[in-house]
Amino acid sequence: MHKTIENLNHIQNQINSKILKLNISNYKPKIIAISKTFKINHISPLIEYGHRDFGENKVQEALEKWTETKGNYKDIKLHLIGKLQTNKVKFCLPLFDYIHSLDSIKLADKIANEQIKKNFKPKIFIQVNVGDEDQKSGVTVKDFESFYKKITEDFDLNIIGLMCIPPFVDDTKKYFEKMIELKSKTNLNELSMGMSNDYVEAAKCSSTYVRVGSKIFGARS
């Protein structure tokens, strides 16, 4: 069995074990295998195994890597997890099925117009800068409610949930709990939280999508 498959199964078992201990029913977060910087031949064992959710953070890299592969595997779901520049939106659709990084009205407007041209509506997460960090993108916690109100009233977007990249600290639980609180103020169902260092904690906090890269594919060169 390929090492990436072993890693994926280990992560899934860890999550399943934690959910079982918490006695949570009807809940199984999806694992997005973050394949950025890795060549398709390193990713293909997971595809052949049956895994279908993959994440990239650069549109150009994804176009070069995934256009043919997605044509061959129609059920693959590609997630954009990096910052999306407005001038890249026209290349983003319809390659990406999910966009995890909506963080501005300008970007919302661009996606709304482009999805009409392409006749394709991606599923979208609002990115929240939950730690209020200057170096990170995302809507601030204090601006979230007004931002959510505006984009849901002014744009015909398929907003399904919230995404965050919390500060890189040992305990991210309080940030995940803040995201749960924000979600409760909406009619959204999904949370994209948790990466290689904290996916188990995210699963405990009801994340529906966890984004795992190095723990599956190994260190990036």
| pTM of the entire predicted model | 0.96
Share of the chain above pLDDT 70, in %: 98
Tell me if 103 sits within 8 A of 126, measured CB to CB. Answer: yes
Which has the closest alpha carbon to 90: 67, 61, 110, 70? 110
State yes or no: pLDDT of 134 exceeds 90.
no
Place of tokens 């919302």: 108
CA–CA dist 202, 143 (Å, integer): 23
- The whole-chain average pLDDT of the chain stands at 95
The per-residue pLDDT for 25 is 64
Number of H helices, E strands in the chain: 9, 9
CATH topology of domain 3-214: TIM Barrel (3.20.20)
Residue 24 carries which DSSP code? -
Residue 86 carries which DSSP code? G
